[in-house]
Amino acid sequence: MLQLNGAWHSYLESEFKKPYFEHLDIFVRAEYGLHPCYPPFNQIFNAFDRCAFEAVKVVIIGQDPYHGEGQANGLCFSVNEGIPHPPSLKNIFKELETDMKLPYRSSGDLSSWASQGVLLLNATLSVRANQARSHQKQGWEKFTNAVIKTLSKERSDLVFLLWGSFAKNKVRFIDTEKHTVLESGHPSPLSANRGYWFGNKHFSKTNAVLKSLGKTPIQWG
């Protein structure tokens, strides 16, 4: 059965015993057995493996893993080393350039962010190859909503970055009295080119919040 490690397992153990997750576990194993799916099975929980529960400082919420070969590595918006940057990731790095005065990142692998306490959480954690949104509404959303609720309840002073309407809808699971929520348009070209993404300065704003809380800022470069 799909399982988490460390404190993540302790806090979310009850979810794995619910009927929806039993259905999800059967569905995911069947999909990976019958079709090429992404990310690789052993990286489905990579966001949690790379960022321990007690280490989380920032949460970025994505929607669906990339569905092209070799792209997805279990971290939202991230791609494996050497893979061309998808449009949304390009716009993230462009905003990072102007906001933080950093050179454009050559690597699209965001593992370095995760290791500093950025939980890169997709709402749906798997997908069938070349079929966007094919694993939605099978239970992943219930599980990742529970992750957000648990972080909101059990932790304090986190920064949640909600990009686009899908992510913004998750604000209902976040105690905004305890946590900082920064919202903007999605970095996809459709939204970004309409002026809803560029200039949000979320990277410098996040670091300002972390510094004010006495936490080490994120090295975004």
Cite the active site residues. 64
SS3 3: coil
How many Å is the Cα radius of gyration of the chain?
17
> In angstroms, rounded to a whole number, what is the distance separating the alpha carbons of residues 212 and 180?
12
> In angstroms, rounded to a whole number, what is the distance separating the alpha carbons of residues 22 and 26?
6
Angle subtended at Cα 10 by Cα 4 and Cα 12, rounded to the nearest 5 degrees: 65
Nearest residue to 163 (alpha-carbon basis) of 109, 111, 216, 202: 202
Is residue 153 within 8 Å of 165, Cβ to Cβ?
no
Sign of CA dihedral 10, 15, 18, 23: negative
